[in-house]
Structure 1
Amino acid sequence: MPYEWTTSKSLELRPHRSLPRKGFAVVILLFFTLVSIPLTAMVGTKTLWGLLPFAMAALAALWWGLQRSYRDGDIHEELLLRHDEVLLTRTNPDGSGQIWRCNPYWVRVSNHETGGPVPNYITLNGNGREVEIGAFLSEDERKALFEELKHKLAQIG
């Protein structure tokens, strides 16, 4: 699951990875092999030099697209629930970070079923701010997370 409670008071969230790094290598190798098969019939002809740039451009585009997907998915959120503070830390794909703190007594978790960037958009309200949590999760995961957060925050508050 893309999110897990590491302790009863600590939650870690990461986007789901459907293609691991080994799978990335397999996809690139398979694509290269499948593109090379018809090109081998063209060896020794001028047609090969006409097709080769397009085949290599397609391979480069696939490589770039998968690498970009990995970079964009380098998001990490961590929620710590303490008796005196709720702390949400987000690390963005570019390495920058954002921190939100609030007294647990004032924290309110909201589920915006519509009107958010995604269905069942979860936000934490408190300390004069509203912050999102787990927007990269699937809709079912956000629904489950909302219920778990309500329960955990009720235990603290």
Structure 2
Amino acid sequence: MPYHWITPPRAARQEMRLWPHQSLPPRGFAGFILATFILILIPVLALLGTVLLWGLLPFVLMAVGGIYYALRRNRHARQIEEILTLDADQARLSQRAPDGSLKTWQCNRYWVTVHKYEEDGPVPHYVTLRGEGREVEIGAFLSEEERIALFEDLQRHLRP
């Protein structure tokens, strides 16, 4: 699961860290780019020694460069982190965006409620925290099953 409780379940101050799933580690990224380059070059090998090779080579390099750029952008966009802190009397959610900006929300823990929108949210099983007149999303980047588990987990931990 791309979330876990940092502190023990019965501690006075509990912290949960959430992050998006990263399916391509750096080593896999390098391997994928290399494999793509080699597979694209296989048909080009027949053109060795001809003028057509020099005509196709820039397009091969642009294709590999485009894949590299797209994968780097995707990895950067997935650098999201959310930290939910539950004290005896306060609940606080900090969301760090890929650009480094930080959004925080806090509320009296007694008034915090967890809501799950089955189909009305931007994603199925959309989970939000509501309190002090505001409603904030939590874990929107998780998979559907993970959001269901997160909802049940938050309900257990937020009960007095």
* TM-score interval (norm. to shorter): over 0.9
Structure 1 equivalent of residue 109 of structure 2: 104
Q: Per-residue CA shift, 1:87-140, capped at 9, x if unaligned?
A: 100000111010000000110100000110000000000011000000000000
For 1:62, the aligned partner's letter is I
CA distance in 1, matches of 2:100, 2:63: 29
Shift of 1:84: 1.7
| Structure 2, gaps ≥5 residues long | none
Identity fraction in percent = 51
Instruction: Quote the RMSD (CA, aligned, Å).
Output: 0.9
For 2:5, the aligned partner's letter is W
**TM-score, scaled to structure 1:** 0.95
Q: Say which SS state the counterpart of residue 105 (structure 1) adopts.
A: helix
CA distance in 2, matches of 1:99, 1:19: 29
Shift of 1:40: 2.7
Matched, 1:141 2:146: yes
Most deviating of 98-107 and 41-50: 41-50
Structure 2 equivalent of residue 60 of structure 1: 65
**Residue in structure 1 matching 2:46, options 34, 38, 41:** 41
CA distance in 2, matches of 1:138, 1:44: 50
| Residue correspondences, number | 155
Structure 2 equivalent of residue 114 of structure 1: 119
Q: Per-residue CA shift, 1:8-49, capped at 9, x if unaligned?
A: 311000000111111000001111111222223222211011
CA distance in 2, matches of 1:139, 1:38: 41
CA distance in 1, matches of 2:116, 2:93: 17
Most deviating of 49-58 and 103-112: 49-58
Q: Say which SS state the counterpart of residue 23 (structure 2) adopts.
A: coil
For 1:68, the aligned partner's letter is R
**TM-score, scaled to structure 2:** 0.94
Q: Say which SS state the counterpart of residue 119 (structure 1) adopts.
A: coil
CA distance in 1, matches of 2:53, 2:20: 41
CA distance in 1, matches of 2:45, 2:123: 47
Q: Say which SS state the counterpart of residue 6 (structure 2) adopts.
A: strand
For 2:120, the aligned partner's letter is G
Structure 2 equivalent of residue 3 of structure 1: 3
Shift of 1:50: 1.4
**Residue in structure 2 matching 1:130, options 129, 135, 140:** 135
